[in-house]
């Protein structure tokens, strides 16, 4: 059984040590992991302009990116890889709401430059190292599972 004073030392010591570990790991993440994993060197003026368009047009009102946002429309973290540049450009420049699957995307009718900025942003996001997020669906073979 710990005495009251050794329990206090144990508690304070544990708190200080875990707090220091937290500080060191946070510093490591911010100064080393984030720049490497996000490929900071690829954040061009075009990517930044795309991010501004992303925010000012409330894309997250319907879409998620990095899992954040609304669930009305497709997740867009890997949309560049999934759909390719041409498809995205058609969606973003379309004068009529893009809706091959029923739900309607806003017909922003972006010009070429704006569409390219958004595409650059989506390409950059898609190439960041997210430790495997979003996971690929694990399709189970129905042929051999009887």
Q: Which residues here bind ligand HEC, judged by CB under 6 A?
A: 53-54, 57-59, 61-63, 72-74, 76, 79, 82-83, 88, 91, 98-106, 108, 118
Residue 73 beta carbon to ligand HEC: minimum distance, rounded to whole angstroms: 3
CA distance linking residue 63 with residue 69, whole number of Å: 6
Nearest CB to ligand HEC, comparing residues 14 and 97: 97
What is residue 68's DSSP assignment? E
Nearer to ligand HEC, 107 or 130 (CB): 107
Closest-CA residue to 54 (of 103, 131, 125, 112): 125
- H helices, E strands: number in the chain: 6, 2
Cβ at position 107, least distance to ligand HEC in Å: 10
Residue number, 98 or 128, with CB nearest to ligand HEC: 98
Q: 87-125: string of b/e by CB count within 10 Å (b at 16+)?
A: ebbebbbbeeebeeeeeebbebebeeebbbbbbbbbbbb
* CB 113, min distance to ligand HEC, A: 14
Whichever of 43 and 106 has its CB closer to ligand HEC, that residue is 106
Q: Report, in Å, the least distance between residue 146 CB and ligand HEC.
A: 34
């Amino acid at each position: 059984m710990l005495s009251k004073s050794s329990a206090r030392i144990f508690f304070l010591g544990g708190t200080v040590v875990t707090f220091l570990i937290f500080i060191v790991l946070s510093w490591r993440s911010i100064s080393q992991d984030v720049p490497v994993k996000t490929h900071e060197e690829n954040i061009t003026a075009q990517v930044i302009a795309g991010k501004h368009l992303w925010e000012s047009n409330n894309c997250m009102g319907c879409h998620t990116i990095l899992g954040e946002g609304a669930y009305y429309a497709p997740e867009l973290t890997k949309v560049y890889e999934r759909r390719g540049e041409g498809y995205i450009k058609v969606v973003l420049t379309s004068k009529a709401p893009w809706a091959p699957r029923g739900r309607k995307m806003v017909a922003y009718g972006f010009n070429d430059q704006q569409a390219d900025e958004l595409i650059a942003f989506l390409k950059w996001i898609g190439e960041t190292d997210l430790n495997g997020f979003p996971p690929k669906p694990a399709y189970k073979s129905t042929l051999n599972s009887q």
